[in-house]
Structure 1
Amino acid sequence: MENNRYNNFWRRLAPSVGLFFLAPLVGEYLLGNISIKDIWALPFLAPMYGGGALLIREVTRRAGRGWPTLILLGIAYGLLEAGLIDQSLFNPSFEDHVLQDVAYIPALGVSAYNALAFIVGHAVWSIGTPIAIIETLVPARRTTPWLGKVGLLVTAVMYIAGSVFVFRDLQREEQFLASTPQLIVVSTMAVALIGISFAVGRKPQPKIDRQTPNPWIVGTLSFVISSLFFGATENWVGVAFKLLLLALMTAVIIRWSRCQGWGIPHRLALAGGALMTYAWGGFVLTILLGRSETIHLVGNAIFAFGAIVLLIIAARKTHDM
């Protein structure tokens, strides 16, 4: 009896733990921004990344909302992380990288190119993709809360504590603090996005009399669009191109999601296409960062292989439904 209770407890907790660690693994390690040599940092990153993803997922599902709310909250998360916590949005030499020379907006003190890359990157890859994959692995609990009130409170505390830890750690290293107007603008935008996220999608959109494409087509388009977004040239043309890709993908997803037959396999395909972009992008970023030791590329290969295996497992789940 005790053993069954123990097993049931961990089975209930597994999706939360999985999301808690998958978010930083995708958002930083698969991307190649952090090397496998620094895998020891995962428990220190998980409270901010995983705690944020889990908090967004739980709040969205408890409110009975869907992916529009989830993605908008993900964008708010990206704003808060890049603008308030690590302040990479404003720091001209974040981690010794020159970030403000590309498509610079003097009035805001930001690079439009990097702002898009950071904010959308967090919303899609740190939040949306891990949530979609973990929810696919537990189809019976896909839209229900995974945590109780205590668990939700603990998650919120972990997210705040993790964010404070990252902020203080980077302050010691970077010795940079954004201006008060910059911090106010980011905070205001994040609060506005949170409000908007719960204002949209109140009424389900009527279905249209058209069959949705095969999930393979959805996944291929997701991979192509996200790859083009990832590899866009670092100038104002690249900014315009990224915005065009975002508008195109948003319009297509809204259209397809209203078609007959849209479901879990299609959402997984969207996440899978984005995941595979980071799988190849991790090798590129590792090279661009000048990491020449073999261990770094070996790490990229391990994370990419893990991403593929995870997608295969999730895809098999969709066939069992």
Structure 2
Amino acid sequence: MAGHIHRRGRRRALALFLLAPLVGEFLLGNTPLTNPLALLLFAPMYGGGALLIREAARRARRGWPTMIVLAAAYALLEEGPVDMMLFNRGYGGFDLGAAYAGTMLPGLGTSLQMLQDVLTMHTVWSICVPIALVEAFDAASEPRPWLSRRGTALVATIFVLGTALLCAFQVAGTGFVASPAQLAWSSAVIVALGVGAFFVGRSPAPVRGARAPRPRTVALAAFMVTSLYWARDLLPERFPGWLLCVAWFVLVGVCAAGYAHWARGRHWSPLHRLALAGGALLTYVWAGFVHGLSMGTPLPVAGAGSVLLGAGAVWLLRRAWRAAAGAGVSGGAEPGRGR
């Protein structure tokens, strides 16, 4: 029995290791399907990061609040010290300095709007959505680590080597290196988030009389809210960036308050959390197509990638939904509530 559990844990770990870059890079449209070998390059960072975050939180018997904060730390690590997009105004051949000119923070050498974009994309889609999708297949049991300590150490080694390699590629390809001050403040924030993640509270306790909405309602709300976020790509280029920054704070505040209210209701379950992840995942299906075009991907390639990856996303979501619903967690007491 123990051997079966260990094999299942390794399968879940491998699934997350591959799913994180598929969502974070390919479904987003950053990397087209015509470049499949990029998966090998991105998996150590995306997949390794998501897996380490999940394992660290579960091994410490912590839940989603901890994983969300760790995901934010990962977001700043990837786009700060690793590929330095936060500070490179010509990153990827795009004039980011002009695109984010209205929201620059001179003291930090980056843009407030870019910080918001980085935190949103990586916290939600690169880390939390893949974790929630894979964990849904074990919804009937108490969350526990998938890997042994030796396995976790191996993943950590792969993550460190993978991120170092990507950093070296970026520096060699662009010749850009962030200033010591930029690297210092971003690293300090990353460390603070990494430590603080284990001091945040657990998920809110249920409130008597409150009732959670149906999971499909949660999924629809997640799809609409995340689609609203990505709809900013359809705005005119001259739309005030500072206004988008204010809107971001409002949207995040509303989402946090809404989640806190819903999660306190009776029958809030892993199926509801999967609904949140599923709604966000489906947003990437259409947003990835638009984003891919903006990255210069030819229309046929972007369209084919969105169709194929979108079909895969829907297939995976259906399987995860059936697994969670079949575990009997759509109503009643939730196993490991608050985890």
TM range, smaller chain:
over 0.9
Amino acid at match of 1:93: G
What percent identity do the matched residue pairs reach?
38
Q: Give me the TM-score of the superposition, normalised by structure 1.
A: 0.94
Match status 1:225 vs 2:259: no
Are 1:254 and 2:251 counterparts? no
CA distance in structure 1 between the aligned counterparts of 2:148 and 2:116, rounded to whole angstroms: 35
* Aligned residues of 2:293 and 2:299 also touching (Cα < 8 A): no
Cα distance in 2 for partners of 1:211, 1:114 equals 37
Contact kept, 8 Å, 1:99 with 1:114, in 2: the verdict is no
Which of 267, 274, 283 does residue 277 from structure 1 map onto?
283
1:211 aligns with 211
Which of 310, 317, 325 is equivalent to 1:319? 325
Question: 2:204 touches 2:260 (CA, 8 Å); kept in 1?
Answer: no
Q: Which residue of 2 aligns with 1:289?
A: 295
1:200 Cα deviation after fit: 1.1
Match of 1:194 in 2: 194
User: 3-state SS of the aligned residue for 2:195?
Assistant: helix
Give, in whole Å, the separation in 1 of the partners of 2:183 and 2:208. Answer: 43
Cα distance, 1:119–1:202 mapped onto 2, change above 3 Å: closer
Kindly provide the CA deviation profile for residues 130-154 of structure 1, in whole angstroms up to 9, marking residues without a partner as x: 0000000122456100000100100
2:324 partner amino acid: T
Residue 33 of structure 1: aligned partner: 30
Give 1:18's aligned residue: 15
Which amino acid is the alignment partner of residue 294 of structure 1?
P
Mean Cα displacement is larger for which, 148-157 or 293-302? 293-302
SS in 2 for 1:87: coil
* Secondary structure class of the residue paired with 1:152: helix
Which has the higher mean CA deviation after the structures are superposed, 183-192 or 139-148? Answer: 139-148
Match in the other structure for 1:128? 128
Distance 1:85 1:238 in 2: 26
Say whether the 8 Å CA contact 2:125–2:281 is kept in structure 1: yes
Cross-structure match for 1:241: 247
Moved more, 126-135 or 99-108: 99-108
Distance in 1 between residues matched to 2:147 and 2:5, nearest whole Å:
14
> Take 2:130 and 2:69, find their aligned partners in 1: how far apart are those partners?
15
Q: Where does 1:153-168 land on structure 2 (aligned, <5 Å)? A: 153-168=153-168
* Equivalent residues of 1:135, 1:142 under 8 A apart: no
CA distance in 2, matches of 1:262, 1:153: 34
SS at match of 2:34: helix
Gaps of 5+ in 2: 328-339
Query: Tell me, which stretches of 5 or more residues in structure 1 are unaligned?
Result: none
* One-letter amino acid of the counterpart of residue 24, structure 1: P
Give per-residue Cα distances to partners, 1:80-110, cap 9 Å, x unaligned.
1111101111110111112233222222111
What is the RMSD computed on CA atoms of the aligned residues?
1.8
Residues 292, 262 of structure 1: CA spacing in aligned structure 2 closer, same or farther, 3 A cutoff?
Answer: same
Partner Cα distance (1:215, 1:140) in 2: 16
Deviation at 1:195, TM superposition (A): 2.0
In structure 2, the partner of 1:79 is 76
